[in-house]
Structure 1
C-alpha cells in the first residue's frame, strides 16, 4: 500500500507525477498548505512539517529526492531510475539533487511574493537576486540540453527518466518567477515533458486551492 501526502503545486507534486508514470496503485491525501502541516499527527509522518511524506509497506519516507530514489529502486522495471553500476548513475543523481537547488530559489521567491502578506515585509532586492539565480539554473539545464549528442531530448542521453520529473517539477514552480527567454532548449524540453499524461494528472484539479494565484510574478514589482 502506497499513500502520498501532498499539497498542490509544491515539491510533493514531483512524487505524484512519478507515481503516475510508474503506473502503480496509490492513495492520495491532499493537505491544505497551512499550519495543519504542523499538527502532531502530521509531524509523526514528516517531522519537518512539510510535504511530501510517503507511506509505503509500513515505512514512512520523507524528502522528495529520497522518495524518488526509493520508488525507482522498488519499481526497477519501469526504467525511470539508474541503479548503482549504471553508466548514467552519477548523472542521474546529480540532476535529481539539482532539482532541490532550483526549488530553494523558488521557495524564497514564493515566500516573498505569496506568503508574506504585507508589502513592507517584502524585499525587491531578494526578489531580483533569487529570480536571477533561477535564470542561472535555467542556464545550466540549457547547457545540458545543448550538448552535441544524438537525441538529446531529455537530461540523460538514454532518454526520459525520473530526473526529468524532478527537475521538470522544480521548473514548473520556478517559471512563476522567471521566463524561458534566452533558453530555447529548456522551453522545448519543458513542453515535451509536461505534455505527458502523468504530468497533467499531477496538476491541481479544477477548482482546487492553488499555491500560486498568478501565472507569473515579476521580480521588479511588489506582489
Structure 2
C-alpha cells in the first residue's frame, strides 16, 4: 500500500500525519509526504487540485483512493484500518464521537480566520481589530465549551479515538490566540495527548514550527 499525504507543517494535515503514526507503517505502508507552502502560488500550480476540490490540505492518495478533508480522512482511516480508534454505527459513543470530530472543525475554522488576519495579511492590508476581537471571543467560547465537558482523560469515556486526533491541529494552534491559563482541563488534556508516542513521532517529523513569528498574538488596538 502507498500512503501519499499532501501536507503543510502543523496545519490541518497534522491530524492525518499523527493518525498515520498511531496506525503504523505495517498497516498503512510507507509514508510519502508532499509538503506545500501555504500562502504561495505553489499550491495552485501543483497537482493538489486533482485530489482536493478546494486545493487545500490535507489531501490523501492511497492505492487509487483520493480523499480530501481531514475529518473525512480521519474517519475513513479509523473505520477501515483502526477499529480501536473508531466508534462504529450502533456504538454508545458514536454520537459523541461524531460531534467531537465536527466540533474540531468549528474550532479550526476560527483559528484559520485568525491566521489570515494576524499572520498572512501584509501591508498595506491591515487586520480588523473588531473582527479579530469577535473571532477570539468565539474561539475562547469554544475552548470554554471543551473545558466544561472534559474529564480527566480523553474526549470519550472509552478512551483515545479519532476524535482526539482531530484536536491535534487545534491544540497546537489555539494557544497562539487564546491564553489557556484559565482552562486547566484543556491544558491537562493537551498534555495527555502530547505524551502519546505517536504524537511525539509526528512532531519529530514536523520539526520546529515555521509558521508563527511570535508566541502569542494579542488583539490589536483599534
TM above 0.5: yes
C-alpha distance after superposition, 1:113-154 (max 9, x if no partner): 1110026521111111111111111111111114xxxxx411
RMSD (CA atoms): 1.7
Equivalent residue for 1:149? none
1:64 and 2:70 matched: yes
Establish whether residue 133 from structure 1 lines up as the match of residue 150 from structure 2.
no
Equivalent residue, structure 2, for 1:219: 219
TM-score by length of 1: 0.90
Task: Give the corresponding residue for 2:153.
Answer: 153
Cα 1:161–1:130 change in 2 (3 A) is: same
Runs of 4 or more above 4 Å deviation: none
Alignment partner for residue 75 of structure 1, among 58, 78, 81? 81
Distance 2:52 2:195 in 1: 31
Structure 1 residue aligned with 2:10? 9
| Structure 2: unaligned runs, 5 residues or longer | none
What is the aligned length? 214
Aligned mates of 1:60, 1:120 — CA distance in 2: 36
Q: Residues 116 and 57 (structure 1 numbering): CA distance in 2 closer, same or farther, change over 3 Å?
A: same
Distance 1:94 1:14 in 2: 17
The answer as to whether partners of 2:23 and 2:82 remain within 8 angstroms in 1 is no
Gaps in structure 1 of 5+ consecutive residues: 147-151
Counterpart of 2:101 (choices 96, 100, 116) is: 96
Pairs within 5 Å for 1:30-41:
30-33=35-38, 34-39=40-45, 41=47
Task: Identify which of 85, 108, 112 aligns with 2:113.
Answer: 108
Distance 1:140 1:154, change over 3 A: same
SS of equivalent to 2:60? strand
Q: Matches of 2:201 and 2:77 in 1, distance apart?
A: 18
Q: For the Cα contact (< 8 Å) 1:102–1:171, is it kept in 2?
A: no
Q: TM-score, normalised by structure 2?
A: 0.90
Q: CA deviation at 1:221?
A: 5.3
Q: Is the 1:98–1:167 contact (alpha carbons within 8 Å) kept by the matching residues of 2? A: no
SS at match of 1:113: helix
Contact 2:48 2:59 in 1 (8 A): no
Structure 2 distance, partners of 1:94, 1:6, is: 25
